[in-house]
Amino acid sequence: MRTYLISYDLAKPYLTKHIIAQAIMAVGESWARPLEQTWYVRSEASQEAIESLIARHLEPDDGLLIQQVKGEALLANTSVRWFRQRMAGVETGGETNIIAFPVPAPVPMPTDAPELPFARAS
């Protein structure tokens, strides 16, 4: 099973964002959406096959990024919960549809790092 990062930029999101979301959820075994237009998808499909399934819903001015990634990610102000495409078993008290995503521990800032001018409190 491969993990892909899928991100898109829609010229007219009010027309197609729900269609694109449905297409992304349909391409894999499970998915997560940590940011509005950024998804993780677990799938056996190739990048080319995923692109083919999603691109048919894109307009000429839309952008699409699909990249195979490792299972780790550094997340700030968000979290990732994996959801299975089908929620089998949940209705009958079976297994949950939430799958843990491993998040590495934050790396401490070096004490000798220069202070950035925009990071100062006024």
Rounded Cα distance between 7 and 67, Å, is 9
**Which CATH number applies to 2-100: 3.30.70.240, 3.10.20.90, 3.60.15.10, 3.40.50.300?**
3.30.70.240
Strand partners, 68: 4
pLDDT at 80: 73
In 3-state terms the chain splits into helix, strand, coil percentages (rounded to 5) of 20, 30, 50
Output the pTM of the full model.
Answer: 0.67
Neighbours of 4 (CB within 10 A): 22
Rounded Cα distance between 97 and 3, Å, is 17
pLDDT at 110: 63
pLDDT at 115: 63
Question: Can you give the residue ranges of every domain in the chain?
Answer: 2-100
22-54 pLDDT, tens per residue? 999 999 888 888 888 999 999 999 999 999 999
